[in-house]
Structure 1
Amino acid sequence: MTALLYTAGVVAFVVAILASIGLHEFGHLVPAKKFGCKVPQWFIGFGPTVWSKQIGDTEYGVKAIPLGGYVKIVGMLPPGAEGLVEETTYDEDGEPVHKVRRSNTGMFTQLISDARAAEWEYVKQHDTDRLFYRLPWWKKVVVMAGGPMVNIAIAFGLFVILFATYGNPRDEVVEPTVAAVPECVIPVAEQRTTCTADDPESPAAKAGIEPGDEIVSFNGTPYTDWQSLQAQIRDNADGDAVIEVRRDGELLTLETSTTVTLRQTSLEDQTLTEVGFLGVQPASHLQTGGPLYTAKQMESMTAETVQALVHLPVKVYEVGRAVVGLQERDPEGPVSIVGGGRFAGEAAASDAFPLTDKLVTLLFLVASFNFFIGMFNFVPLLPLDGGHIAGALYEGLKRGVARLRGRPDPGHVDVARLLPVAYVVGLAMLVMGVVLIVADLVVPLHIS
C-alpha cells in the first residue's frame, strides 16, 4: 500500500505539472491565433511523438520525454541582413512555399541564418501576413507573456483555495494560550521527550501553569506577542518570574523562577546558547485569508523568487558539489521536477500525514512549481519568454522615440541577433536541469 500511495503521489504531481506546462503553451497559442499568427504545433514533452492530432492548421500532441513543452509560432525571426535571399519554391502538391536561402559567412552569422531558414520552412506564400514578427510590439508582449501569466494564475488560484481553507504555512500566528507544559527540563542535546528521575521539574510546571491558560503578563510586562515574551523569558536567566494568566475567565498570579539551559538561538540559527527557560509551548494556527491576502503573500513571494533566481547558478553549483560528495546538500536549495515528485510521493505514503494534509502538500507543491515556472520565464533572456518580451518592449520604445522625433520607422527589432546568447543560456539551463535531476536521484532531499 505504501508503494502504491508513493507512486500515486508522484504520478499526480507529474500529471499536474505537465497539465500546467500544456496550459502555459495554450497561454501563447490562444492570443497568437487571436492575432492571426500561424501556429502549426502545440506539444507537451520533447523527443519522439507519442500521440498527435491535427485540428485546423495546428497539430496537438504529446512527446516521449515529459520535461517541458512548446508551441510553434511561425515567423518569430524576421529575414535578416546576413546575405539572406527570400525566394519562392513549390512543394510536392505544387503549392508555393516562401523560403529564405542561407548565407555562408562566419560561425555566429551562419547560426543565425540557419535559424532564420528553419523558421521559414513553415511559411507558405499566403502566410506572409501571419508572421509573428510583423505583429505590433504590444501584441508580441501579450502573446509571450500569456504563457508565464497562466502559470502565475494557476498558482494564485491554488494559493487562494489553500490560504482561505487550510491556512498559510508561511504565516503562523502564535497565540497567548498555553498549548502544553513540559513536566521537566530535558537537555537539548538528548534527543528524547520522556522525563527521567534526574531531570529537574520545569519552572512552568512548578508554578502550576496549565494547558489552556492565557498568558496576560510576565514580570509586570503585558503580553503583546510570543517573540517578545520569549525574549523576556530568555533574558530573565534564573531570576524570579511572576506570570499572570487568565483561566476560565479568572485572573491568576503564579510565581516561579526561570532556569538556565541550552537552547537554539533561533529557528534560522541553530547555535546553542544558555538562556532563561520557563517551559511553556504556545498554541498557534495558520493565518487564513482570501484573494487580497493571497495577492499580498505573492508579492513577498515574488521578491523572494527574484532573489532566488539571481542566486540560482550558485545554488546549482553547490548542488553539484553535493552530488560528488564535497558538501552537504542545502535542504532549502533548488530541486527538479524529480525532487518535487519525490516530495509528493513521500507525503502521500507517509503515515504521519492525514489525507487532508497529503492533498494540501500536493497542491502547495503544484502551486509553488507553477509560480516558479512563471517567474523563471519572465527572465529577460532568450530563449525564455522574457527575452522575447524584452525585444518587443525595446521595439515599441524605438518606434515611439522615432515617432516623437519625426524620424522614419526603425522597423522590427531583430531578436535573431541575440541567438548566440540564447544558445549559451539554453545550454546553461540544460546543464542546471541535468545537475538537479541527478542530485534528486543521488542525494535527494526529503519532505520534513
Structure 2
Amino acid sequence: METVLLYILGVVIVVIGLALSIGLHEIGHLLPAKAFGVKVTQYMIGFGPTLWSRRKGETEYGVKAIPLGGYISMIGMFPPAKPGEKPHPNSTGFFNQLVQEGAPAQDQTAQDPNLQDPNAKRPGALTSLVEDARQSSADTIGAGEEHRAFYRLAVWKRIIIMLGGPTMNLLIAVVLFAVLLMGFGTAQASTTVGSVSACVLPASSTQTACGATDEKSPGAAAGLQPGDRLVSIDGTAITSWDQSTGIIRSSPGTPLAVVVDRAGTDVNLTITPKLTERYVLDSAGKVTTDADGTAVTQEVGFVGIGPAGELVQQPVTAVLPAVGDNIGAVVHMILNLPQRMVDIVNAAFGPGERDPNGPISVVGVGRVAGEIASINTIPIASKAASLIGLLASLNVALFVFNLIPLMPLDGGHVAGALWEGLRRRVAKLFKRKDPGPVDMARLMPLTFAVVIVLGGMSLLLIYADIVKPINLFG
C-alpha cells in the first residue's frame, strides 16, 4: 500500500510541476503582450471544457479539462488579407489555436449568393481553410481596438512576446539545474567499496554467475566488504576511485598493502591484483571499439571491486554547461526524430526494445516519476534530486520544441515576424513600397499538416508508453 501511495505521489508531483511550467510559459507570453498594449482575452492552462475561470479586467483566467498545455488568446495575431478588413484574434496555444482558427466560419449562404448557386465556382479546400482562419472569431474584436492587434506591433515586439514562453522554460530549467547540481550534487564514484566480485571472469566471458571451480576474486579472497572505505593502497592515500583503479591496474601479481575504514576502524589487508582481460574505456566510461566494431580489451591488474556512488555538490559554473548539454541532447533527438519514431513503432508493435534515452509521452513521464518515488532502496534525497532533474529536462524539452520554426509553435510565429522584418528592410533599401505584414493565415494548411503529424506521434508515444514502457530501473 505504501508503495502505491508513493507511486501516486511521484505522479502528482510531476503533474503539478508540469502544470506550473506550462503556466509560467504562458505568463512569459502574457506579460510582454500586456506591456506592449495587445489585448489579451484569455489566459488558460489546459484545453477543452473550462473547469474554473475568473475574469480580471479584460482577461479571463482559468483552467481547462485537458492538461496538454496552455495558451493566451490575443486579438489580431493574423492581419487582414486586404486593407480595411478586420483581423481576427488568435492564441499562443498549440491545440487551442487549431480549434479556434480551424473552426468553420458561420453559415453565410444568406449573405453570399454565390454559395446559394450550386453551379457557382467554389473555393478549393485549402483556400477555404485560409478564409475560415481569417474569419473565425473576428467579432470578438471590439470597435476601436484594431490598434491593439498583435500584427500591428513592431517586429521586435512580436518576437519578444513569442519568445517569452520558451525563455520562461529556459529560466525554469536553469533554476532547477542549479538546485539539482549545487544543492543535491551529481552522482560520482566515491572511495567506498560498493560491490565485491565473487570470482574472476574475463571481460569477454558470457558467464553471468560464478561456478564452483571459478577462482575467487582477489578482493573477496583478501576479505574486502561492501561499505569499506579505501584509506590507502601501498602507502598512497586514496582520494578518488580512479586513483585506486590506476594503482590496481598497474600492479598485476604485486601484493599491495591496503588500509580500509570499516565502521570507523582501520583494517589492514593484503591484496594481490590478478592479471586478467578487461575492456578499454574512453573518457566517458564507454567501451571503446576498433575499426570493425569489436570491443577493445587489454590485460591489467584486477581485484574485483566496484565503487559506491555519492552525491557531490557542484559549483555554480557547472549549471549552464549542464543546461547546454541537455539542450544539445534534445536538439539531437529532434533532428533524429524520424528514425526514433521508427524504433518506437518496432518496439510498440514488434519485438524491439525502447531506448531509455528516447522520447516519451506525458504518460511515460508520469510512470517514470512514479517509479522513482516508489522504489524503497533509493534515499529520499536521491528521489527528490531525480524528480527535480526530470522536471528540469522537461522544461528544456519545452524550450527547444517551441523554437521549431513551424506553425502553430512559437518558433513559427517568430519565423514569420523575422521574414516580415526582412521583407520590409529590403523594400526600404531599394525604396520600394512597404509590403506590409506577412499573411500568416496562408500557412494554415501547413499548420494542420504539422498538427496531424505531431498528434500522430503523440498518440504513438502514449500507446508505446502503455504497452511497452521504458523501465529505467531494470
User: TM-score normalised by the shorter chain: which range applies?
Assistant: 0.7 to 0.9
Residues 180 and 422 of structure 1, relative CA distance in 2, 3 Å threshold: closer
The AA in structure 2 aligned to 1:44 is: I
The AA in structure 2 aligned to 1:137 is: V
Residues 4 and 283 of structure 1, relative CA distance in 2, 3 Å threshold: closer
Residue 93 (structure 1) aligns with: none
The AA in structure 1 aligned to 2:48 is: G
Residue 348 (structure 2) aligns with: 323
The AA in structure 2 aligned to 1:427 is: I
Separation of aligned partners in 2, 1:18 and 1:253: 55
Residue 203 (structure 1) aligns with: 218
Separation of aligned partners in 2, 1:50 and 1:26: 20
Residue 8 (structure 2) aligns with: 7
Residue 305 (structure 1) aligns with: 330
Residues 213 and 354 of structure 1, relative CA distance in 2, 3 Å threshold: closer
Matches within 5 A, 1:164-313: 164-169=182-187, 172=188, 174=189, 177=191, 179=193, 182=196, 184-185=198-199, 187=201, 191=208, 198-204=213-219, 211-213=228-230, 240-241=253-254, 256-260=272-276, 268=286, 275-276=299-300, 277-282=302-307, 285-313=310-338
Matches within 5 A, 1:70-85: 70-80=71-81
Matches within 5 A, 1:380-395: 380-395=405-420
Task: Give unmatched runs, 5+ long, in structure 2.
Answer: 88-104, 115-121, 289-294
Residues 212 and 70 of structure 1, relative CA distance in 2, 3 Å threshold: same
User: Which range moved further: 394-403 or 374-383?
Assistant: 394-403
- Of the three residues 421, 431, 435, the one matched with 2:456 is 431
The AA in structure 1 aligned to 2:230 is: D
Separation of aligned partners in 2, 1:309 and 1:149: 19
What is the DSSP-based 3-state SS (H/G/I as helix, E as strand, rest coil) of the residue aligned with 2:314?
coil
The AA in structure 2 aligned to 1:86 is: E
1:157 is aligned to 2:158: no
State whether residues 318 and 329 of structure 1, in contact with CA within 8 Å, keep that contact through their aligned partners in structure 2: yes
What is the DSSP-based 3-state SS (H/G/I as helix, E as strand, rest coil) of the residue aligned with 2:332?
helix
The AA in structure 1 aligned to 2:400 is: M
1:332 is aligned to 2:357: yes
Residues 198 and 139 of structure 1, relative CA distance in 2, 3 Å threshold: same
What is the DSSP-based 3-state SS (H/G/I as helix, E as strand, rest coil) of the residue aligned with 1:328?
coil
- Of the three residues 441, 449, 471, the one matched with 1:416 is 441
Residue 94 (structure 1) aligns with: none
Residues 25 and 243 of structure 1, relative CA distance in 2, 3 Å threshold: same
Residue 65 (structure 2) aligns with: 64
CA deviations 1:146-171 (Å, max 9, x no partner) are 111111111111111111111134xx
Residues 7 and 213 of structure 1, relative CA distance in 2, 3 Å threshold: closer
Residue 133 (structure 1) aligns with: 151
Superposition deviation, residue 215 in structure 1: 6.4
Residue 55 (structure 1) aligns with: 56
Superposition deviation, residue 71 in structure 1: 1.4
Separation of aligned partners in 2, 1:419 and 1:55: 32
Residues 247 and 364 of structure 1, relative CA distance in 2, 3 Å threshold: closer
Residue 44 (structure 2) aligns with: 43
The AA in structure 2 aligned to 1:369 is: L
State whether residues 77 and 415 of structure 1, in contact with CA within 8 Å, keep that contact through their aligned partners in structure 2: yes
How many residue pairs get aligned? The number is 424
User: Which range moved further: 403-412 or 313-322?
Assistant: 403-412
Task: Give unmatched runs, 5+ long, in structure 1.
Answer: 89-98
1:118 is aligned to 2:118: no
The AA in structure 2 aligned to 1:438 is: Y
RMSD (CA atoms): 3.8
Separation of aligned partners in 2, 1:399 and 1:241: 78
What's the TM-score, normalizing by structure 2? 0.77
State whether residues 200 and 304 of structure 2, in contact with CA within 8 Å, keep that contact through their aligned partners in structure 1: no
What is the DSSP-based 3-state SS (H/G/I as helix, E as strand, rest coil) of the residue aligned with 2:65?
strand
Residues 228 and 291 of structure 1, relative CA distance in 2, 3 Å threshold: closer
Separation of aligned partners in 2, 1:409 and 1:56: 36
